[in-house]
Amino acid sequence: MSTIAITSHDGKLSAASAVLEVSATNPNYNQPVLRIKQAGTSGGAASIRIDDPNPDIEFVETGLTGPDPGAGKFEIAVQADQLQINGRNAEVGSDKGFDNIVALTRPAAGGNIGIGFPEAKDYKRFGGGKGVIVIANATVAPSPSKKLAGAGILYVEDGALKYMGSEGTVTEIAPA
């Protein structure tokens, strides 16, 4: 039961419309538009809960210029047993669709982590594994000439797991 409820039974809304919009319209102040404070002490209540057939939160960075229409657009989404972090696809002229960055399955569904496939369905049920990490082939392998000081890079190339150290040395950890 809500203390305050906003209910809309309006007809079809355009994609840019919303039932409720909160706007901070003074560009001279960089402050939060919405702040939620929970007074509970047990930690059992959700501060934000979304009940929806396809729940997601979309983040859109405004004011960007450049040729990539997907820049600055990300979402956190739920698809059945997966929590996904997605980035808007970079197809020029399109503002539709997201590419999957990371997919996490809940423990009861395997507890898996998938990285790098454009669509979460490409993880193919994680090869039947549970508690596994699936890494897609790198679309572009790191270059030893562009070494990363003070760090290393773990990636997959042609199905082989590789590591590039901070001096640019590439080691194949496991063959395909």
pTM of the model as a whole: 0.79
Residue 147's pLDDT is 83
Structure tokens at 168: 């640019």
Which 8-state DSSP code applies to residue 128?
Answer: G
Per-residue pLDDT tens digits of the chain, which is 176 residues long = 678 888 888 777 666 677 788 888 888 888 888 888 888 888 777 888 899 998 999 998 888 888 777 788 899 999 888 999 998 887 655 556 888 899 999 999 899 999 988 887 777 778 889 999 999 999 999 999 988 889 999 999 999 999 999 999 999 999 99
Q: Is 66 left (phi over 0), alpha (psi -120 to 50) or beta?
A: left
Contact status, residue 102 vs residue 113, Cβ threshold 8 Å: yes
Rounded to the nearest 5 percent, the helix, strand and coil shares of the chain are 10, 25, 65
Q: Can you tell me the distance from the alpha carbon of 171 to that of 106, in angstroms, rounded to the nearest whole number?
A: 32
Residue 93's pLDDT is 55
Structure tokens at 86: 């997605």
Pairing of strands 98-105, 113-115: antiparallel
Q: Can you tell me the distance from the alpha carbon of 55 to that of 51, in angstroms, rounded to the nearest whole number?
A: 7
Contact status, residue 83 vs residue 102, Cβ threshold 8 Å: no
